Amino acid sequence: MRRTPGEGARSPRGRAAVALAPVLGAAGLLLLPYAPPPTAAAPRGLPHTTVEVSPGRCGRGWDRPAPGLQVFRLHNTSGAAAEVRLTERGSGAVLGETEGIGPGTTRTLTVRLGKGAYAFRCVPEDADAVTGPTVRLEGGRAGPAAAPVTEHDLIPPAIAYQKWVAGGLVTVVRLTGRLRDAIDRGDLAAARTAWLPAHLAYERLGAAYDAFGDADARINGTAAGRPGGVGDPSFTGFHRVEHGLWHGAPAGSLRAPAAALAADVAALRTSWDQARMDPAQLGLRAHEILENTVQSELTGRTDHGSGSNLATARANLDGTRAVLARLRPLLTTRYPGLPALDRRLERAAVLLDGFRHGARWTPLTRLSRARRERTDAVFGDLVERLSSVATLCAPRRTA
């Protein structure tokens, strides 16, 4: 995955910071005197029920239960921030959640409830989760729900994925070595032939870009965001070499960039064995790989001369499928749209394979309008579907 310097990386850390912000803000409210919760903060016209959030009185206040679309006002009467989930009692499936409710504050949660038994579950920071009283409802059909995924659930797939990446890096090192050798020999035709397989081998691992850290900017950054553009000394890696190979640069000028690239991927392979992937990354990667494809490949933004954006998009599809393969056991029971997603992924792969002619790929700019629209539509459809994988596979504390 390309990551240019200065481009905001959507790391899990960044997300966590966002999620924490209301908590910290709310903590400031501790200094303020208690004020009763405001009365109209949520969609109007819906039934409102105020319930308490605290270790001793989790879910109290839900005295007149009714099915249908409704708003709960979650009032945290405890001294610590808490997360609240409305769960279906039998399955533990979550109908709705609100994170980071600060002490003394009230947040709303809109849900649709139907026939079934429900309970609130309060998850205070730094304390055990508490389940509120069970409430039974007759009639109506509830909104969509899914069982929470825990970090524990995500560790085996994350380890499996990490191993898969390790194997992929061996291939990247090998193919990048061929590219470097061709340039060293001064055989630029062979170098142009060797560039694409090496780059695609790397792109296939796209899911791991955050875990690759700064290495990715050196290996796969573009000229964007660099004051000197393609001539900037900090512009290195696959696209630096690509730019030279497809813009008539002499072999001598590419030896150093190719050698640096080979050294960088070799160093990455070595360090990868020590790295530990954050399991929370996995669900995010499942949708972010193709989000990046939509932004960077289908727009041609990353093309530095090879015209291989569609090949990259195809490699990114493989990368997405590699993530999904590891998450599959968690998704089969949680994501009813999974079979449809699988079919759409296959459709996208078939579509892109149609742009391949031996070792060459149709450049993006040569696509007819109809084919380009179809490609954009297929990927647009995929990212909509994959966004659910990310929300479902965000790790949640259950105990």
Cα–Cα distance between 102 and 25 in angstroms, integer?
Answer: 8
**Total site size for other proteins, rule CB under 8 A:** 54
Among residues 1, 94, 123, 324, the one that binds other proteins under rule CB under 8 A = 94
10 in contact with other proteins (CB under 8 A): no
Instruction: For the CB of residue 41, give the shortest distance to other proteins in the complex, in Å.
Output: 9
Nearer to other proteins, 199 or 334 (CB): 334
Amino acid at 280: A
Among residues 350, 356, 360, 397, the one that binds other proteins under rule CB under 8 A = 350
x-marked contacts with other proteins along 279-308 as a string, rule CB under 8 A:
------------------------------
Among residues 7, 128, 214, 373, the one that binds other proteins under rule CB under 8 A = 373
Among residues 55, 96, 225, 363, the one that binds other proteins under rule CB under 8 A = 96
Cα–Cα distance between 99 and 82 in angstroms, integer?
Answer: 7
The window from 272-280, 295-303, 358-366, 381-389 that contacts other proteins (CB under 8 A) reads 381-389
Report yes or no: 37 and 29 within 8 Å, Cβ to Cβ: no
Contacts of 339 (CB under 8 A, 6+ apart): none
Instruction: For the CB of residue 113, give the shortest distance to other proteins in the complex, in Å.
Output: 10
Instruction: For the CB of residue 153, give the shortest distance to other proteins in the complex, in Å.
Output: 14
Instruction: For the CB of residue 106, give the shortest distance to other proteins in the complex, in Å.
Output: 15
Instruction: For the CB of residue 380, give the shortest distance to other proteins in the complex, in Å.
Output: 4
Among residues 115, 141, 366, 397, the one that binds other proteins under rule CB under 8 A = 141
Cα–Cα distance between 95 and 109 in angstroms, integer?
Answer: 10
20 in contact with other proteins (CB under 8 A): no
Nearer to other proteins, 46 or 259 (CB): 46
Among residues 77, 97, 255, 363, the one that binds other proteins under rule CB under 8 A = 97
69 in contact with other proteins (CB under 8 A): yes
Instruction: For the CB of residue 328, give the shortest distance to other proteins in the complex, in Å.
Output: 16
339 in contact with other proteins (CB under 8 A): yes
331 in contact with other proteins (CB under 8 A): no
110 in contact with other proteins (CB under 8 A): yes
364 in contact with other proteins (CB under 8 A): no
Nearer to other proteins, 97 or 181 (CB): 97
- SS3 annotation, the chain: CCCCCCCCCCCHHHHHHHHHHHHHHHHHHHHCCCCCCCCCCCCCCCCEEEEEECCCCCCCCCCCCCCEEEEEEEEECCCCCEEEEEEECCCCCEEEEEEEECCCCEEEEEEEECCEEEEEEEEECCCCCEECCCEEECCCCCCCCECCECHHHHHHHHHHHHHHHHHHHHHHHHHHHHHHHHHHHCCHHHHHHHHHHHHHHHHCCHHHHHHHCHHHHHHHCCCCCCCCHHHCCCCCCHHHHHHHHCCCCCHHHHHHHHHHHHHHHHHHHHHHCCCCCCCCHHHHHHHHHHHHHHHHHCCCCCCCCCCCHHHHHHHHHHHHHHHHHHHHHHHCCCCCCHHHHHHHHHHHHHHHHCCEECCEECCHHHCCHHHHHHHHHHHHHHHHHHHHHHHHCCECCCC
Among residues 127, 346, 356, 366, the one that binds other proteins under rule CB under 8 A = 346
Cα–Cα distance between 71 and 174 in angstroms, integer?
Answer: 57
111 in contact with other proteins (CB under 8 A): yes
11 in contact with other proteins (CB under 8 A): no
Contact positions toward other proteins, by CB under 8 A?
42-46, 69, 94-97, 110-112, 140-141, 143-146, 148, 334-337, 339-340, 343-344, 346-347, 350-351, 354, 368-371, 373-374, 376-378, 380-381, 383-385, 387-388, 390-392, 394, 396
